[in-house]
Amino acid sequence: MNDIAENTLDVTRQENVTRILDAAERLFRHYGYSKTTVADIARDLGMSPANIYRFFASKVEIHQALCGRMLATCYQLAYDIRHQPLSASERLRLYVETQYQWTMDTMLDEMKVHEMIVVAIERDWHVIEKHIDRVHDLIAEIIAEGIAAGEFAEQDPVVASRCFGAATINLCHPQMVAQCLAKTNRASVDELIDYVIRALKK
């Protein structure tokens, strides 16, 4: 098979994968993850379940791919902020604020979506662990630049990044964000961001 034919097959396959994921996400949002079956997704696309299984071995794989796609969007937001021409403090603040708002809009606005994310977190899939590592790497780069500019105190940027992530997790973790929304005895978003950035300067 020549390169053109192989490329055509790859494009066609990716188009089918995208169609399946789009349909699955639409149904998961409407009916919920637990109530949606592979047969439902196939019916929505006007194809047989066997066609779905050509691309995904199970609903779990579809779910995992969807979570991976959502996290890729989240990572891109962080990547773009990391490369903005702002101070390290400004970028860290913007990152947490953006992540918090994205979590609110994408994962909590519709409870059906929240259910899908909670299932993924409880299964501790490698896509989530990989995402956390990649975001920590971006934060470490920002902190390292802040140290080099004299903005932050001398410290290990990798350790500082992990501590920064741990200190702000209740602004990024869907379940923790949901649990803290109605509580009045929690630090506000701005208070928490101010605190962790001050800690980097000491």
Domains, the chain, ordered by start: 1-56 (1.10.10.60), 58-201 (1.10.357.10)
Instruction: Please tell me which residue, 125 or 83, carries the higher pLDDT value.
Output: 83
Helices vs. strands in the chain: H and E counts, helices first = 10, 0
pTM: 0.78
Averaged pLDDT for residues 145-157: 97
Greatest mean pLDDT among 34-43, 64-73, 183-192: 34-43
Strand ranges inside 61-103, DSSP E: none
pLDDT at residue 121, as a whole number: 67
Residue 11 pLDDT greater than 80, yes or no: no
Please report which confidence band the pLDDT of residue 63 belongs to, taking 50, 70 and 90 as the band edges: confident
Residue 87 pLDDT greater than 90, yes or no: yes
pLDDT at residue 166, as a whole number: 92
Tell me how long the chain is.
Answer: 202
pLDDT at residue 86, as a whole number: 97
Residue 6 pLDDT greater than 60, yes or no: no
pLDDT at residue 107, as a whole number: 66
CA distance 170 to 192: 10
pLDDT at residue 131, as a whole number: 86
Distances (CA, A) of 44 to 24, 41, 93: 9, 5, 42
